[in-house]
């Protein structure tokens, strides 16, 4: 190996004597090192399922606090559930990064409306949002509902308000959504699953 | 009692004897490149566990991202497209600290306690003692440590010593979807590697082998390579890594002489550090050192 | 998946084609790696790109995007020509011996019965020959020219290795090597599994791609076996569950085909859907359709559903047309839609031809977006410069954006790709005022119901009469809904063989779909999920990881539909006498008195082998269909057709028939046909896909994932890069007839230039993950470029093969 002049200087003049310090009488005691504390020690562990792909990996969610009344659980870490027979504790880069999706700066926090022609969102209450949406739906349904077709067959359908369902919703949410939509006579429904 | 949370084998710039009565099991991480899909789960798990968020970079025409190790990216995937014998191979190497049995960084480090080697083999940086001089970069034969722009301290993989200390495996190991990463006693890892190598040989990789380089007395991070005869194919993994002779010279036979000669310099430097903080040219030094130590 | 994730470890050969499991399903892919490590299995990857799956494969071969049927048809030809099939299996368990109508023909790329004006087939000539008792005629010698085996042999005789290579661009030697590897699994004790995904579905021949593979698996005797099957690796965590709950127009929960205008009465409706057995002694399980449907009506309409009113049959809307997502946006584009609700669905990014989708949304009166994240769809009206130019003032759509909680913030069940339903628990509250989907739907319905109760309106009966037994009507609890999905006895359910024996007392949760009745005495929201929450409690919450089978079946982990069965068609894992083809991987067997073993038998437990009850119990013929007389609108046998945007002058299989260039039965809307590009102007084959670092359009909101793949790029091969003077890292513009995107170029050896039909074909690869919202660098929505046309059967858009041009930006 070639030793350049600069390297040589670094070693001799500047590359200072490390362990020699101790020999010169510097005690290590005041500068002892400690490994980082294990950050999950008293967190609460909750079992859940990764929401991304259909491997549906088991995850363990760690949150601050012990679920006592005054403690608002804050999710601080997620790792794989070793018991889950499929992922056996592993997670892919998406799953391993779930924490940042949960805490994304782009999570929605409040109902909002963009009025026709407006160029910004306006925060509204849940009551206002659901009331307005329900009135829109009822108005459209009442105006557009088809009771019988041209042949006089009872068809009871509503096909002017559509619905696209999530593939990330739970079975329960999906089922209830389906029940409500057919109950309203909606035939214009489809799901992410098609794509 | 911090001194004992993981027994310390060696500590930079320290000659106080280390505890030796207890016999710790030496641990190792085994990276089987033939099972690695380059998914970067280990990168993400590493950042998540260690609370690191590097700034969002750019695509520079390759899959590697972040494109290099940084003070906030302790492990990165290095992708190499190789045409070998008329067939394409996509060699993907997880790069990061090798946790050398004979750690050049520790030997080169002038700051007491800034680098420690635990009895189980983990080499860890303790930034609270780091003076930002960058000599660990010179000492490292694998070009791993990085100085932070924010605090001028050196950072690298800790092998999740906080997890290992409580009996857990490092975050990267646990998350690895394909099992390309394994963790356990070094002995077990070598045995596992043997099986993997036999499997690879049966699939036509005649030169499959283990990368556990003797020049640094072996490492606590080892690779299974399909082409162990060509480690350089894997984004420049060094053939025969060894600690820079300068560090060896300085820390070896010249040491007693050097102590006398350099004592004044040591003190001067320490005083300089105490009065002025880290060396202002550390960034420049880092670049120089990087250029000089980058493997061919 | 017919099998499940862990079962992949039991395979001897894993074929990854039409998918990229290592990147899209890394944690499932571990079982491929496991099969390689512990069974010495081989992994073969066939893909237009050398993917990260290919990086760990034993053999990789390139293929032109959109030519999979040519490749797989060639495999069928190879297996038949070289007699590499599992004879006993094929003869007994498939319809190979069945005789088809004399009138069936395939000529010049078209099957008999084609109506070019309607772009539709009449399948009358594709039917079985039926004998006097109503059973299909068969020829056990497999020699009759009208038997399926011979028809199939003739059909695929054209798919020689030379033709395969000419059409697909796969080098002939590579193709043959893969054929040899596949053929080895014709041995009874060797199995191949296939892991496919959207690389096969997102084509205008998507369903036929999969059928071709299913035929190969049947010829090899790999269906029903451990380590075999045909395995769709699905997209989202609960895409399987939402498919099962059937949130799409054509079906009701549990895949019960929904009523259409032609189904005037309940009787007609049920009759059409309740088949008669086509061979003697077959289970013909769909004969139970009335039980499933009636139980659903009881779950939905409660006490209002009575025998007298046909269990509220008329309350169900009847369908008059297609309402799949492409059809919906077509209607919207035509101004026929007034309102639209997107629940966790980001169609502006996910659906083809962004400009058309955006123009459609602008015609709505109101749009509601329910999502945990700020989606592009919710802001289609907002100007994001080059990435989404818009003039908000000109768009009159009223847009609501409702924050929903995500997985970590709610209880409930997800169904994985292997059909295993797993319960999850809430860890924390959502941010701000976010509410769960159940609360949002519950809250909305409560308001609608109150409005109808108060003001009346169009046909209020089903709105007011919908069964709503939830303790807090505005907030149905996930447990309550899960129990309803499972179903319960409304009156005592007795054993049909012994009416004194009560199987379930009134009010009790049902143990399984065998207890469902068609007289209104049972309710079940989804028959295939029946058993998930029995009297024993919530079985989806079971967490016993013990695997006593050694096959990875873990029968006490969660609950798999149907009936906790982990491997579908598992009767086919045994020979006719009930002995496992491969005793070392026995799934079930006949023990002399009953079927049992390492899985829930997919067979009547006491069906003696001599009875000849065949394994494919959901078909009235009891066997699997190599030839499909019905259900496939585009032909009973798969045939290669070019993508709607083909880089060739025509279909090399049928060079002289312009009607047979692309799928003759695929639906094309007027106006879209004109947007399909010609190769002269747009010479390069484009294909879109996911990267392992990102999930769809979600993780661009996650900093950790943004760090690992921060910016939009497209991939091109070195040869194309040279031709176009594009260097690695350059900015490039990619254009289709529908728009353009600009991204960084990744120049790679992994995208090869292929020799197809005498010309060079270059591929442009485009990851999909970027958009104008997110913590990555903003990017273009890739679906700006994709064509608005879907698979003839499923209407899944053709994202995987279309034409573009590319230049340095």
pLDDT in tens, C439-448: 999 999 999 9
Q: Is B65 on the interface with A (CB under 8 A)?
A: no
CA-nearest of C316, C204, C353 to C666 is C204
Give pLDDT tens digits for C329-387: 999 999 999 999 999 999 999 999 999 999 999 999 999 999 999 999 999 999 999 99
* Mean pLDDT rounded to a whole number for chain C: 98
d(CA C769, CA A83): 31
Q: Which chains touch A (3 or more CB pairs under 8 A)?
A: B, C
Q: Find out whether C210 and C232 touch, Cβ atoms under 8 Å.
A: yes
SS3 category, C239: helix
Do the strands A189-191 and A161-165 form a parallel or antiparallel pair, or are they unpaired? parallel
d(CA C515, CA C524): 10
Distance from the Cα of A43 to chain B's closest Cα (Å) equals 14
Distance from the Cα of C197 to chain A's closest Cα (Å) equals 11
CA-nearest of C300, C742, C679 to C524 is C300
Which of B37, B60, B83 lies at the smallest CB-CB distance from C52? B37
Give pLDDT tens digits for B124-175: 999 999 999 999 999 999 999 999 999 999 999 999 999 999 999 999 999 9
pLDDT attached to residue B21: 87
pLDDT at residue A24 greater than cutoff 70: no
Distance from the Cα of C761 to chain B's closest Cα (Å) equals 19
Which of C22, C23, C749 lies at the smallest CB-CB distance from B88? C749
Give pLDDT tens digits for C510-538: 999 999 999 999 999 999 999 999 999 99
- Chain A residues whose CB is inside 8 A of the B269 CB are 14, 16
SS3 category, C90: helix
Q: Find out whether C67 and C641 touch, Cβ atoms under 8 Å.
A: no
What is the CATH architecture assignment of C325-409+433-465?
3-Layer(aba) Sandwich (3.40)
Give pLDDT tens digits for C699-750: 999 999 999 999 999 999 999 999 999 999 999 999 999 999 999 999 999 9
SS3 category, C104: coil
A interface test, pick of C5, C28, C241, C793 with most A CB neighbours within 10 Å: C241
SS3 category, A51: coil
Q: Which CATH number fits domain B2-36+96-169+180-245: 3.30.505.10, 3.40.50.720, 3.40.630.150, 3.30.70.20?
A: 3.30.70.20
pLDDT attached to residue B285: 47
Q: Residue ranges of the domains in chain B?
A: 2-36+96-169+180-245
In eight-state DSSP terms, residue A73 is: P
d(CA C295, CA C299): 6
Instruction: Calculate the alpha carbon distances from C740 to B48, C711, C735, C785, C809 in Å.
Output: 36, 17, 4, 6, 11
Q: Which residues contact C694 (CB under 8 A, 6 or more apart)?
A: A94, C700, C705, C709, C767, C769
pLDDT at residue A2 greater than cutoff 50: no
Instruction: Calculate the alpha carbon distances from A12 to B113, B184, C422 in Å.
Output: 21, 40, 64
Q: Which residues contact C578 (CB under 8 A, 6 or more apart)?
A: C589, C590, C595, C609
Q: pLDDT in tens for each of the 296 residues of chain B?
A: 233 457 899 999 988 888 888 888 999 999 999 999 999 999 999 999 999 999 999 999 999 999 999 999 999 999 999 999 889 999 999 999 999 999 999 999 999 999 999 999 999 999 999 999 999 999 999 999 999 999 999 999 999 999 999 999 999 999 999 999 999 999 999 999 999 999 999 999 999 999 999 999 999 999 999 999 999 999 999 999 999 887 876 555 455 544 444 454 444 445 545 554 444 444 454 455 445 444 43
Answer yes or no: do C237 and A72 touch at CB < 8 A.
Answer: no
CA-nearest of B123, B98, B124 to B213 is B98
Percent of chain C with pLDDT over 70: 100
Confidence of residue C252 (pLDDT cuts 50, 70, 90): very high
- Tell me the mean pLDDT in the region C127-144: 97
Percent of chain C with pLDDT over 90: 99
Give pLDDT tens digits for C670-698: 988 888 999 999 999 999 999 999 999 99
Q: Is C459 on the interface with A (CB under 8 A)?
A: yes
Phi-psi region of A173 (alpha: psi -120 to 50; beta: other; left: phi over 0): alpha
Distance from the Cα of A150 to chain C's closest Cα (Å) equals 10
d(CA A118, CA A115): 5
Q: Which residues contact C806 (CB under 8 A, 6 or more apart)?
A: C684, C714, C716, C720, C724, C726, C732, C733, C734, C735, C764
Answer yes or no: do A11 and B251 touch at CB < 8 A.
Answer: no
ipTM surpasses 0.90? yes
Give pLDDT tens digits for C180-236: 999 999 999 999 999 999 999 999 999 999 999 999 999 999 999 999 999 999 999
Give pLDDT tens digits for C611-635: 999 999 999 999 999 999 999 999 9
Q: Find out whether A119 and C279 touch, Cβ atoms under 8 Å.
A: no
List the beta strands (DSSP E) in C567-625: 588-590, 595-597
Q: Find out whether C504 and C510 touch, Cβ atoms under 8 Å.
A: yes
Residues in chain B: 296
Answer yes or no: do A35 and B124 touch at CB < 8 A.
Answer: yes
B4-43 residues touching C, CB cutoff 8 A: 34-41, 43
Give pLDDT tens digits for B169-188: 999 999 999 999 999 999 99
Task: Provide DSSP, chain B.
Answer: -HHHHTTEEEETT--SPPP-SS-PPPEEEEEEGGG-----HHHHHHHHHTT--PPP----SSS-SSSS-BTTB-EEEEEEEEEETTEEEEEEEEEE---BSS-HHHHH--STTSEEEETTS-EEE-GGG-----HHHHH-TT---EE-TTT--EE---TTHHHHHTT---HHHHH-TTS-EEEEEHHHHHHHHHHHHHHHHHTT-TT-EEE--GGGT-BSEEEEETTTT-GGGTTS--SS----HHHHHHHTTTHHHHHHHHHHHHHHHHHHHHHH-S-TTHHHHHHHHHHHHS--
* Residue predicted with more confidence, C10 or A34: C10
B22-61 residues touching A, CB cutoff 8 A: 39-41, 43-45, 48-49
Q: Is B11 on the interface with A (CB under 8 A)?
A: yes
CA-nearest of B98, B48, B93 to B73 is B48
pLDDT at residue A75 greater than cutoff 60: yes
- Write down all domains in chain A, each with its CATH number in brackets: 44-102 (3.30.200.210), 121-194 (no CATH)
Instruction: Calculate the alpha carbon distances from B23 to B10, B120, B159, C206 in Å.
Output: 14, 9, 20, 61
- Chain C residues whose CB is inside 8 A of the A192 CB are 235-236, 239, 242, 344-345, 350
- Chain B residues whose CB is inside 8 A of the C765 CB are none
Answer yes or no: do A98 and C554 touch at CB < 8 A.
Answer: no
Answer yes or no: do B59 and C50 touch at CB < 8 A.
Answer: no
Q: Is C305 on the interface with A (CB under 8 A)?
A: no
The yes/no answer on whether domain C658-808 falls in CATH 3.40.50.10680 is no
Which of A6, A39, A93 lies at the smallest CB-CB distance from B39? A93
Q: For residue A37, give the chain B residue with the closest CA.
A: B162
pLDDT attached to residue B85: 87
pLDDT at residue C147 greater than cutoff 90: yes
Distance from the Cα of A58 to chain C's closest Cα (Å) equals 9
Q: Find out whether B95 and B69 touch, Cβ atoms under 8 Å.
A: yes
| Phi then psi dihedrals of residue C370, to 5 deg | -105, 115
Confidence of residue C259 (pLDDT cuts 50, 70, 90): very high
Which of C244, C529, C794 lies at the smallest CB-CB distance from A194? C794
pLDDT attached to residue C674: 83
Q: Is C113 on the interface with A (CB under 8 A)?
A: no
Answer yes or no: do C50 and B90 touch at CB < 8 A.
Answer: yes
Phi-psi region of B218 (alpha: psi -120 to 50; beta: other; left: phi over 0): left
Answer yes or no: do C710 and B37 touch at CB < 8 A.
Answer: no
Distance from the Cα of B90 to chain C's closest Cα (Å) equals 5
Give pLDDT tens digits for A116-137: 999 999 999 999 999 999 999 9
What's the maximum distance between 2 C-alpha atoms anywhere in chain A?
Answer: 104
d(CA B62, CA C410): 39
Which of C408, C441, C462 lies at the smallest CB-CB distance from A173? C441
Q: Find out whether C288 and C516 touch, Cβ atoms under 8 Å.
A: yes
- Chain C residues whose CB is inside 8 A of the B89 CB are 55
pLDDT attached to residue A33: 56
Q: Find out whether C694 and C700 touch, Cβ atoms under 8 Å.
A: yes
Q: Is C30 on the interface with A (CB under 8 A)?
A: yes
pLDDT at residue C596 greater than cutoff 90: yes
In eight-state DSSP terms, residue C138 is: B
Which of C314, C397, C401 lies at the smallest CB-CB distance from A108? C401
d(CA C264, CA C252): 17
Residue with tokens 């039917």: C127
| Phi then psi dihedrals of residue B25, to 5 deg | -75, 135
Answer yes or no: do C317 and A104 touch at CB < 8 A.
Answer: no
Q: Residue ranges of the domains in chain C?
A: 325-409+433-465, 658-808
pLDDT attached to residue C287: 98
d(CA B117, CA B99): 9
- Chain B residues whose CB is inside 8 A of the A92 CB are 39, 41, 175, 177
d(CA A42, CA A65): 8
What's the maximum distance between 2 C-alpha atoms anywhere in chain B?
Answer: 62
d(CA C549, CA C7): 11
Tokens (6 digits) for B140: 């490292």
Do the strands C339-343 and C366-371 form a parallel or antiparallel pair, or are they unpaired? parallel
C interface test, pick of A88, A94, A112, A160 with most C CB neighbours within 10 Å: A94
Answer yes or no: do B43 and C708 touch at CB < 8 A.
Answer: yes
Q: Which residues contact B80 (CB under 8 A, 6 or more apart)?
A: B90, B91, B92, B93, B233, B234, B235
A interface test, pick of B5, B12, B44 with most A CB neighbours within 10 Å: B44
- Chain C residues whose CB is inside 8 A of the A43 CB are none
pLDDT at residue A12 greater than cutoff 90: no
pLDDT attached to residue A13: 37
């Amino acid at each position: 190996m070639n030793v350049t002049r600069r390297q040589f200087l670094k070693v001799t003049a500047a590359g200072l004597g490390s362990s020699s310090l101790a020999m010169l009488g510097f005690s290590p005691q005041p500068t002892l090192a400690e490994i980082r504390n294990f950050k999950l020690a008293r967190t609460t562990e909750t079992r859940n399922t990764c929401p991304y792909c259909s491997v549906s990996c088991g995850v363990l969610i760690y949150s601050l606090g012990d679920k006592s009344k005054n403690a608002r659980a804050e999710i601080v870490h997620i790792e794989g559930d070793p018991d889950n027979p499929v992922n056996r504790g592993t997670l892919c880069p998406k799953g391993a990064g779930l924490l940042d999706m949960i805490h994304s700066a782009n999570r929605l926090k409040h109902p909002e409306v963009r009025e026709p022609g407006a160029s910004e969102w306006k925060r509204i209450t849940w009551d206002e949002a659901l009331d307005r949406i329900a009135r829109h739906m009822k108005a459209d349904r009442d105006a557009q509902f088809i009771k019988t077709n041209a042949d006089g067959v009872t068809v009871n359908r509503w096909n002017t308000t559509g619905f696209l369902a999530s593939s990330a919703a739970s079975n329960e949410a999906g089922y209830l959504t389906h029940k409500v939509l057919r109950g309203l006579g909606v035939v214009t429904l489809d799901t992410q699953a098609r794509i | 009692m911090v001194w004992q949370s993981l027994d310390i084998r060696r500590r930079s710039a320290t000659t106080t004897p280390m505890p030796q009565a207890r016999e710790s099991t030496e641990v190792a991480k085994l990276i089987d490149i033939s099972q690695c899909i380059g998914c970067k789960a280990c990168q993400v798990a590493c950042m998540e566990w260690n609370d690191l968020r590097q700034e969002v970079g750019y695509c520079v025409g390759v899959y590697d991202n972040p494109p290099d190790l940084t003070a906030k990216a302790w492990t990165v995937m290095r992708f190499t497209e190789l045409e070998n014998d008329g067939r394409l191979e996509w060699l993907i190497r997880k790069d990061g600290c090798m946790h050398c049995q004979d750690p050049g960084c520790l030997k080169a480090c002038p700051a007491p306690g800034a680098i420690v080697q635990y009895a189980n083999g983990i080499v860890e940086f303790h930034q609270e003692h780091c003076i930002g001089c960058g000599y660990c970069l010179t000492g490292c034969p694998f070009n791993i440590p990085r100085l932070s722009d924010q605090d001028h301290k050196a950072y690298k993989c800790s092998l999740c010593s906080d997890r290992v200390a409580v009996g857990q495996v490092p975050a990267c190991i646990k998350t690895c979807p394909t099992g390309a990463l394994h963790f356990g006693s070094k002995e077990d890892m070598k045995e596992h590697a043997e099986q993997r190598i036999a499997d690879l040989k049966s699939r036509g990789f005649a030169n499959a082998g283990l990368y556990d380089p003797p020049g640094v007395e072996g490492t606590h991070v080892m690779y299974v390579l399909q082409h162990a005869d060509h480690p350089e194919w894997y984004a420049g993994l060094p053939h025969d890594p060894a600690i820079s002779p300068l560090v060896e010279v300085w820390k070896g036979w010249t040491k007693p002489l050097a102590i006398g000669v350099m004592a004044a310099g040591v003190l001067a430097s320490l005083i300089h550090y105490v009065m002025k903080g880290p060396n202002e040219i550390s960034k420049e030094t880092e670049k120089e050192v990087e250029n000089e130590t980058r493997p061919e | 998946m017919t099998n499940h994730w862990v079962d992949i470890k039991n395979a001897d050969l894993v074929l990854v084609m039409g998918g990229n499991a290592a990147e899209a399903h890394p944690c499932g892919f571990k079982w491929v790696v496991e099969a390689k490590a512990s069974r010495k299995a081989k992994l073969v990857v066939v893909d237009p790109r050398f993917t990260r799956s290919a990086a760990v494969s034993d053999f990789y071969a390139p293929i032109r995007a959109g030519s999979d049927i040519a490749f797989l048809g060639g495999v069928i030809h190879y297996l038949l020509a070289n007699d590499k099939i599992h004879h006993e299996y094929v003869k007994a368990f498939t319809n190979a011996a069945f005789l088809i109508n004399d009138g069936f023909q395939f000529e010049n790329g078209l099957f008999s019965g084609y109506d070019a004006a309607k772009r539709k087939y009449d399948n009358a000539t594709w039917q079985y020959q039926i004998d006097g008792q109503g059973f299909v005629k068969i020829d056990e010698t497999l020699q009759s020219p009208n038997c399926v085996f011979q028809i199939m042999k003739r059909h695929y005789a054209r798919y020689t290795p030379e033709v395969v290579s000419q059409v697909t661009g796969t080098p002939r030697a590579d193709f043959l090597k893969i054929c040899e590897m596949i053929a080895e699994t014709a041995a009874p004790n060797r199995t191949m599994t296939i892991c496919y995904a959207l690389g096969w579905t997102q084509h205008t021949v998507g369903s036929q791609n999969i059928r071709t593979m299913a035929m190969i698996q049947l010829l090899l005797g790999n269906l029903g076996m451990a380590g075999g099957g045909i395995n769709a690796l699905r997209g989202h965590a609960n895409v399987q569950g939402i498919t099962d709950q059937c949130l799409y127009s054509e079906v009701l929960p549990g895949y019960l085909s929904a009523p259409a205008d032609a189904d005037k009465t309940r009787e007609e409706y049920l009759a059409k859907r309740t088949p008669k057995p086509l061979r003697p002694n077959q289970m013909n399980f769909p004969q139970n359709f009335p039980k499933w449907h009636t139980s659903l009506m009881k779950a939905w309409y409660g006490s209002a559903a009575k025998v007298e009113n046909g269990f509220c049959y008329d309350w169900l809307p009847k369908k008059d047309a297609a309402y799949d997502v492409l059809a919906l946006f077509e209607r919207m584009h035509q101004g026929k839609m007034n309102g639209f609700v997107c629940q966790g669905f980001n169609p502006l990014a996910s659906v083809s031809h962004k400009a058309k989708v955006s123009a459609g949304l602008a015609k709505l009166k109101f749009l509601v977006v329910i999502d945990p994240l700020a989606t592009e769809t919710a802001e289609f009206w907002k100007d994001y410069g080059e990435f989404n130019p818009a003039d908000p003032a000109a768009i009159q759509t009223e847009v609501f954006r409702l924050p929903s909680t995500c997985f970590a913030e709610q209880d409930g069940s997800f169904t994985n790709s292997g059909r295993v339903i797993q319960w999850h628990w809430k860890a924390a509250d959502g941010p701000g005022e976010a509410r769960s989907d159940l609360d949002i739907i519950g809250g909305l319905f409560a308001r609608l119901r109150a409005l109808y109760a108060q003001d009346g309106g169009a046909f209020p009966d089903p709105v007011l009469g919908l069964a709503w037994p939830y303790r807090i009507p505005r907030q149905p609890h996930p447990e309550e809904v899960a129990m309803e999905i499972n179903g319960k006895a409304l009156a005592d359910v007795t054993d049909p063989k012994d009416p004194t024996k009560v199987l379930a007392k009134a009010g009790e949760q049902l143990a399984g779909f065998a207890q469902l009745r068609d007289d209104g005495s049972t309710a079940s929201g989804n028959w295939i999920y029946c058993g998930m929450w029995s009297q024993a409690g919530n079985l989806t919450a079971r967490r016993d990881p013990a695997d006593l089978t050694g096959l990875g079946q873990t029968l006490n982990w969660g609950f798999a539909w149907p009936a906790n069965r982990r491997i579908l068609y598992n009767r086919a894992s045994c020979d006719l006498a009930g002995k496992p083809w491969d005793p070392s991987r026995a799934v079930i067997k006949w023990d002399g008195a009953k079927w049992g073993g390492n899985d829930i038998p997919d067979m009547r437990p006491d069906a003696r082998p001599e009875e000849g009850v065949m394994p494919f119990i959901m078909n009235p013929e009891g066997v699997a269909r190599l030839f499909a007389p019905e259900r496939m609108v585009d032909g009973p046998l798969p045939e290669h057709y070019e993508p709607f945007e083909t880089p060739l002058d025509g279909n090399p299989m049928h060079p002289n028939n312009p009607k047979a260039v692309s799928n003759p039965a695929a639906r094309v809307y007027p106006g879209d046909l004109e947007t399909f590009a010609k190769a002269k102007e747009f010479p390069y084959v484009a294909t879109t896909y996911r990267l392992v670092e990102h999930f769809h359009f979600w993780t661009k909101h996650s900093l950790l994932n943004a760090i690992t793949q921060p910016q939009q790029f497209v991939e091109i091969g070195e040869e194309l890069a040279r031709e176009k003077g594009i260097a690695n890292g350059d900015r490039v513009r990619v254009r289709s007839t529908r728009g353009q995107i600009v991204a960084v170029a990744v120049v790679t050896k992994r995208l090869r230039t292929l020799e197809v039909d005498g010309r060079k074909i270059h591929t442009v690869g485009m990851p999909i993950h970027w958009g104008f919202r997110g913590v990555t660098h903003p990017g273009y929505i890739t679906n700006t470029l994709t064509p608005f046309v879907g698979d003839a059967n499923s209407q899944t858009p053709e994202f995987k093969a279309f034409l573009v041009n590319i230049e340095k930006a």
